[in-house]
Amino acid sequence: MLSFREIVEAHQEKVRNTCFRYVKNLEDADDLAQEVFVQVYESLTHFREESELSTWIYRIAVNKSLDFLRRSKRKKRFAIITHLFKTNNEGDEEEIPLPADDNPQNDLEESEHKKVIEEALDKLPENQRTAIILSKYEGFKNKEISEIMKISVSAVEALLHRAKKNLHSLLFDYYQKNI
């Protein structure tokens, strides 16, 4: 049986990156990943098999990230409401994103593509987004995804198929308007 420290060291990279795919912010991703391992620590005695444990760790990471997004969506909605009733508009300027380090055409195009794919991913239903993040970004196999998401392998395949189809149509619509 691995020690807690070994478990953290073995999984922290993937957990942090998985959280980051959802929240897109380093500090929030780190916070969420730490919470994941706190929960792991509290329930460590229930797990004997390493495979069962790792699947469970990524499931917690996905669930915590989705919860975080739901909470921030609620906060955003509340902020919109308070903004509507606010009369003073001081300090409301939108943040301008910083340019990339070196700024040749390729970098600009790449960062534009990244932004576009992230926006398209955000528009996918939660389960399709999770399937595609785990498969495409984190390189999990369909069987592993099925264990993390607690669904069958064929359901994962169907989700990935629909996710790709939806992404394609979202991107098609975007480029049709912007080319």
Partner 1 sequence: MNNKEKIEKQIEKTLEQFNNAEILPPNPFFYTRVEAKIKAKQKSSYVLTEVLKPAMLIVLLAINISTAVWYLSASEQQEESSQSELIYLLSSDFKSDNSKIDLLNIN
Identified binder of partner 1 from the candidate list 10, 12, 69, 162, rule CB under 8 A: 12
For partner 1, the closer CB: 150 or 177: 177
For partner 1, the closer CB: 78 or 175: 175
How many residues bind partner 1, per CB under 8 A?
34
Cα separation, 151 vs 28, whole angstroms: 28
Identified binder of partner 1 from the candidate list 22, 87, 123, 176, rule CB under 8 A: 176
Tokens representing 120 are 């398209």
26 sits near partner 1 (criterion: CB under 8 A): yes
Q: DSSP class of residue 164?
A: H
Residue 169, H or E segment = helix 153-178
For partner 1, the closer CB: 8 or 62: 8
Cα separation, 76 vs 2, whole angstroms: 41
137 sits near partner 1 (criterion: CB under 8 A): yes
- Report the interhelical angle of 153-178 vs 142-149 (nearest 10°): 100
CB of 35: closest distance to partner 1 in angstroms?
A: 7
Identified binder of partner 1 from the candidate list 84, 96, 98, 179, rule CB under 8 A: 179
CA 174 to chain CA centroid, nearest Å:
21
CA 109, 115, 120, 126: dihedral to nearest 10 degrees?
A: 150
CB of 99: closest distance to partner 1 in angstroms?
A: 16
